[in-house]
Amino acid sequence: MTQVIVLPHVELCPEGTVIDARPGDSLCDALLASGIEIEHACEKSCACTTCHVIVREGFDSLGEASEDEEDLLDKAWGLEPQSRLSCQTVVGSTPLVVEIPRYTINMAREGKH
């Protein structure tokens, strides 16, 4: 298992947490399996930016983003050089530190307000 440190997010993970992810799984699947309800409006098909994360540590260990992912990231709120779509980011053996941006392009949500 690979350790993923999730930095605090006011709604999804207020205290931050550490999760174990299976190498080969997407980061989105690992977050969801650990109870972190990251948005994934396109059902993890690389068609939106709601699962955008910023990989603060371990970014260089990840495979390169596809052209489709890069095109979508250009539309993400709060884009940074270490931004990835968690549905397209495959966890390897290197520990990661990730930040889930406070906002997404999909600002209208059901649930807690």
Summarised one tens digit per residue, pLDDT across range 77-101 is 899 999 999 999 999 999 999 999 9
Domain range for 18 is 2-99
Query: Is the residue at 52 inside a domain?
Result: yes
Query: Is the residue at 94 inside a domain?
Result: yes
Write the DSSP string, 69-101: HHHHHTTSTT--TTEEETTT-B--SS-EEEE--
Query: Is the residue at 113 inside a domain?
Result: no
Query: Is the residue at 21 inside a domain?
Result: yes
Nearest to 51 by CA among 26, 16, 17: 26
Query: Is the residue at 110 inside a domain?
Result: no
Summarised one tens digit per residue, pLDDT across range 3-43 is 999 999 999 999 999 999 999 999 999 999 999 999 999 99
Query: Is the residue at 107 inside a domain?
Result: no
CATH code of the domain covering residue 66: 3.10.20.30
Total domains in the fold of the chain: 1
